[in-house]
Amino acid sequence: MNDQTHEMLEENDVNGYAKIDQYNPAAVERMSSHVREILVDLGEDPVREGLVKTPERVAKALQFLTHGYSLDPAQILRSAMFREEYQQMVIVRDIEIYSLCEHHMLPFFGKAHVAYIPNGYIVGLSKVPRVVDAFARRLQVQERLTMDIRNCIEDTLKPLGVAVVIEAQHMCMVMRGIQKQHSTATTSAFTGEFNSEKTRAEFMRLIQRGSPVA
């Protein structure tokens, strides 16, 4: 299939400010027709007023929710690496995560906490949430998402250690009634100095305390 990769720019005026989204028009077209068939299989009428534009909306939403495939997380880090002798723990905590579980294509969402101990290089702090997002905006399982983030920072920055903790709620559990409560899944991945109990305990203590400005 001739997969046109050139992208169409579309501007939507949302609440007074312009939001620019990128979509692949050929993929939107194909996915819309699949969604229309799904609506029919669900017993719905795809031409009734409320549903006429739904296939296209779903196709665009899915492309947005998986736009991480077109991002290069290592390149995001490399674009803002600076030589620096600082060798203490750097923590970016409470990073919002929105992802889709690859088993049900339903959302899971929560927070990521990321730390590293520099070894000659630091990275612009705003890049850490962007790396998290680049991996989260794909079909994922929480365990692999945790390791993807850890490995990317480890391989790119080559720090003395990396720590990643993710706490998330999975709609495939909550909405399907498998879990009645607001249970949270926690995953973690560590390298280097974070394998020492003392360093890891300090990291866990720092991400568990309340807001630093409180």
Footprint of Zn ion (CB under 5 A): 101, 103-104, 172
Give the type of residue at 200: R
Angstrom CA distances, 174 to 38, 136, 165, stand at 23, 19, 21
Nearer to Zn ion, 146 or 199 (CB): 146
Q: Is 152 a catalytic residue?
A: no
What is the distance between the alpha carbons of residues 174 and 162, in angstroms, rounded to a whole number?
31
* Smallest distance from Zn ion to CB 176, Å: 8
Nearer to Zn ion, 178 or 201 (CB): 178
* Smallest distance from Zn ion to CB 188, Å: 20
Q: Is 182 a catalytic residue?
A: no
Q: Is 170 a catalytic residue?
A: yes
Find tokens 């579309």 and name the residue.
Answer: 10
Sign for the CA dihedral angle at 141, 142, 147, 149 comes to: positive
- Catalytic, out of 7, 44, 67, 104: 104
Radius of gyration of the chain (CA): 20
- Catalytic, out of 34, 96, 103, 143: 103
Q: Is 75 a catalytic residue?
A: no
Q: Is 34 a catalytic residue?
A: no
> Catalytic site residues?
101-104, 142, 170, 172
